[in-house]
Chains A and B, each alone.
Chain A
Amino acid sequence: MTALQARIRPHFLFNSLNAAVSVVRRDPVLAERILLDLSDLFRAVLAERRGMVPLGQELELAKAYAQIESLRLGERLRLHWHVDEATLAAYVPVLLLQPLLENAVRYGVEPMAEGDVEITVARAGRMVELAVRNSVGPAAAPAGNGLALANIRERLALHFDAEARLQVDEGGDGFLVRVELPFTTVRRPGGARATDRAQA
């Protein structure tokens, strides 16, 4: 449960359940979709010790999360996806992208009347680059933001050592988190064992 709370905010869970409860009578199909998306998300969180998944799968999960947030926040949340199909087979640590997206929504959109979140996934030679930018810098971001980033950094190091890195750019017109990791289409057994140790 501690691992679960570190990944997904209880606030998000209860607001999402509230959204599902809100629409269940007048739009049961929508309520069903919210609950199924939530279910996918929590299954992934609970299965995290499996370690690595294809990026395509991680993107599906991030999109399930994004769908729930879009329903909750309506037009306040403007999402922009730029995904290079050539990256989808690359193996990445599970729940790499979703927490970055959650941070962007939490600090860049929720406290504001509206906001933009841009997700870019591209291949650059033997590397995969993931970037999540939100339009407003989280100047007043509580410590949770840093914890999520530290957690991702730690898991990247466990799987890829110094080959992967996470950079934060707070300057300019927004808050940008950029992750670079090697393009690999095989699950790294060493990485998975390392993740198991980290969970113990």
Chain B
Amino acid sequence: MIRRLLRLVVVVSALAALGATPHLPQPQTRTLANGLRVVLLERPGAGIVQVQLQVPAGLSAEPGARSGIASLTAQLLRQGTTSRTAAEMAAELDTLGASFVVNVTRDAAQVVAGARTAELESVLELVSDAVVNPRFDDESFQLARRQVAGQLGQMARMPSALADERIAALVFGSHPYGRPLRGDLESLVGATREQAREFHRDHWRPDRAVLVIAGDVDPVRAFAATAEWFERWSGRFVAPPAVPAPAARSGLWLQDLDGVPMAEVRIGLLTPGRSDPAFPAWLVAREALEGGRLPAAAAVTLNGSRDAGLLVVSASARPESVGVVVRRLRRSLESLASLPASDLAAARRRAAGTWAFSLETAGQLSASWLAGDLAGQPATHLATQRAALAQVPFDGVASAVRAGGVTLVAGPAVRMKGRLAGLGPVDTVRVGGAADESGPSTPVTEEQRNAGRALVQAAVLAHGGLPRLKSVFVSEATHELQLLASGREVTAEVRTIRVDPDRFVQTTRILDLEQRQVLDGRRGWTLTTVGDSAQIADADSMVLSSWRGIRESDVVHLLRAAAAPEAAAFEAGKTRVADQAADRVEFRSPLGQRVRLSVDERTRRVVAVEAGPTPQGEWRDRRLWSAFVQLEGVWWPSEEVRELDGQVASRSRMRRLLVNGDVDTTLFRRPLVVHGQIRNLE
């Protein structure tokens, strides 16, 4: 009897919760002359204050070719100012007992600082200095880049983090929300100090910024201090080009992570963004899942950005059990489409209760208020969200769930073989030269095959003949590489060593940043050094596969592969390269990748290489070869232009080539890196 009554009380209380509004702080807002909005959320008695400055300088502001620049720029704000070194800044924060972090999301970048209330003015001065006068010198830039490289290296060792990143990329597609928050190593290597300075100049501006001060503060004092330290901030925000909203996608994707003990399963659904009145329905959906609809040990997350959101259900699984786990997760998601009224009411209750826990701290208050503000909601939106949870229609969730989402399985493909049968067609998450299961869109005729074999034979002869090509077992080439991104050039030195049958080293050096990718049979690693500091990250199977593709992409390996019977070469039409007519021949590489060579009609040399078309059959990546030189009887291209989607992405010129020479075998001994220092070789 007592228990029944207790349960009744809980239920009655919960129902009451939906109708009541707690005493939330009323936002007090001022706008400075430069356009900066200052919002105060008073929380008397706490003795502390949190300052959170937000600018719309997240992923959605990144130019397409500069993935990761938002994060790198934000990191630079911690590396000192024009009047303070990074060490002096850290010392001042230490003296104040203050925290200072930067953060980048899909829509925004933030500086968050906290301290005792007594230190408010000092904290505001420090935040202002960091935002208005960042140092942006070379030393700071290299340090920030090293930190991001370290973070990327850590992430590369975490299958769970990799899967989280990939599911976002799959669900959001080409929309900026699909980019990795910190970019990738390739974009990091290509990033320049000027790009960061430019990004800061265009996007870290007061007219679109909001400064929220939450905590135990006196409004008069807080507004006065803000005016004192932020009025000097000037400039106008440069809006990034508008991009179409992401479209809902579906399908089953496999990401091979060789050697990891567990597989990661993710099912992602595109949801409305926070700016959409339907978004609260997805908060209810998350609670419905958490309230008992998910299988044991599964989890659900909901990330609501301004223009779109992402709901992900996830679980770790033994590779042999991934099929069962995918089915269970799908069933739990599908159950949202026919949620009984009582379950929906319970989910709404849970959502309202959970909402109360999201506004307890100064940081939570600031973050919740800023998220709503970014989505265009009124200043008082915190007070209305609870009611929205009780009333928002659920139909949109049901229809989205019925349409299905994107399923990603990341784990050791060998152990998962056959476990995904019956779940739908499987696509492979490809990186570089990873295997590609697609084929030509139309059937290949015998005539094409004969013509293809003849073309390959002619090209082989034009490059020195098969015996000469097969006699090359070691090559070491040094190139000067010009990377072109958004009209800017970065020069790098790239040294590539290929040792048959299965070794490869590629060292890229830009200023004092050096990245060495080493493939040694079935293992590999990336050693990144900046100045005297080093980071090492072991390569997963996906990365190894990519490197194998690069290893096989020189003229010697390509022609040897094309000449093999199993390559099934065929003639694939005509084209023009550098105003010269060329014949195209397509074949499948030993790694299973589709490759297309353009053979000059006159010289019969290979003048263009394309590899790995998209599932839609688009060949987006093309390398143009010219200026052939002869060494050891083989004709090698000494110049290469790389095009992505028809745009020049890089140019390289060979400066040095060694064939069948001695190789420094210590390159294949994995270094031991301890606290950023190379201590030894294994």
Chain B associates with chain A: no
